[in-house]
Amino acid sequence: MSRNRYPHTNGHLTGAPRRHVALPKLPTHDELIASSEIVTRSVQQLRTAYRPDGLNVGINLGRAAGAGIDGHMHWHLVPRWEGDVNF
C-alpha cells in the first residue's frame, strides 16, 4: 500500500497487485491472500494512526473506473469521519 498521490482525505492509501490483472478472479490464490493481508494490516494501521469513524475500502476495475490503464485493478482505503463531505 502507498499513500495516494491525490488523496481524498488524510491517510488515503492505494494498493495494487505486483502483477497487472484486470479482474478480481484473475490473481492467483496466493496473490489474493497476500492482498487481503495487506488490506487488513493497512486498515489496522489507519485506525491506529488516524482514528477515523469509518473507512471506505473499494476496488477500481478498468480505465473507466479510474484504473488509468486497461488490464489493471487497484484498491483504495479512505478514512472517513462523521460529517466529512470531501468524497
- Read off the C-alpha cell for 85: 463531505
Q: Is 74 noted as a catalytic residue in this protein? A: yes
Q: Which of 12, 20, 74, 76 is catalytic?
A: 74
Q: How far apart are CA 61 and CA 50, in angstroms?
A: 27
- The answer to whether 56 and 78 are in contact (CB under 8 A) is yes
- Read off the C-alpha cell for 14: 492505494
Catalytic residues: 74
